[in-house]
Structure 1
């Protein structure tokens, strides 16, 4: 039988606390926005692969915010850009900043807009 066995149980507890404090310190100084990480391990669809045929399909996209447009009813449009293309995001979120890298889940929407024999149709994502 070992003497002073209480020290064998206390040391691992302090070790785990030390690891937690170190990780907390590292993440508190980082630029990661955990609120926008929606689905760990989710399949991110390149923006260039979004098509009108996928209307009403839910996808994950990731890119850099290049533009923002405030709308009525507390909605905003954000233009998201990755290396494959650009897409507009319609959402109630108001904390995204231009230049910020974000990942989000949204539903593909297709809007047919014919004006004077020209087609201005486009797809966008609706994020709840």
Structure 2
């Protein structure tokens, strides 16, 4: 069984409580919309360093998957510049898959013992491309 650090468990619990409350309306709002990603792909470190929450297009490799409450799961997406956690209700991912996604960049504050342990994460809106690991 895999052991998780206290920081990651706190992060996922707060993310689950704070982030999933708006996901149903997010899914309804984007139903039926076809997003053209083109070449507007942002690298992960630029997305996180911009400090601006909003829609981003990312591509990378899945390096970790954590189940949450059904049907939700979180996966870690990595590109050459860094990593970010992505929350999704879509199934079918495996470690080492490559994906191209459109999602909403969010920040979850986690104040703990006078320190800010929060981080950015992505609410996946659309998985445009998925290439299974070879």
TM-score (norm: length of structure 2) = 0.63
Dislocated runs of 4+, deviation >4 Å = none
Unaligned runs of 5+ in 1: 1-37
CA contact (8 A) 1:110 1:124 kept: yes
Structure 1 CA distance for aligned equivalents of residues 108 and 57 of structure 2: 20
Structure 2 CA distance for aligned equivalents of residues 72 and 54 of structure 1: 28
User: Structure 2 residue aligned with 1:112, among 109, 112, 121?
Assistant: 109
CA contact (8 A) 1:77 1:90 kept: yes
Structure 1 CA distance for aligned equivalents of residues 106 and 39 of structure 2: 20
Matched, 1:53 2:55: no
User: Structure 2 residue aligned with 1:65, among 59, 62, 67?
Assistant: 62
CA contact (8 A) 1:110 1:121 kept: yes
The number of residue pairs the alignment matches comes to: 90
Q: Which of the pair has more CA radius of gyration?
A: 1
CA RMSD of aligned residues (A): 1.5
**CA deviation after TM superposition for structure 1 residue 93, in Å:** 1.1
Q: Which residues of 2 match residues 71-82 of structure 1 at below 5 A?
A: 71-82=68-79
CA contact (8 A) 1:42 1:60 kept: no
**CA deviation after TM superposition for structure 1 residue 111, in Å:** 0.6
User: Structure 2 residue aligned with 1:85, among 79, 82, 97?
Assistant: 82
TM-score (norm: length of structure 1) = 0.66
**CA deviation after TM superposition for structure 1 residue 127, in Å:** 1.1
Q: Which has the higher strand share?
A: 2
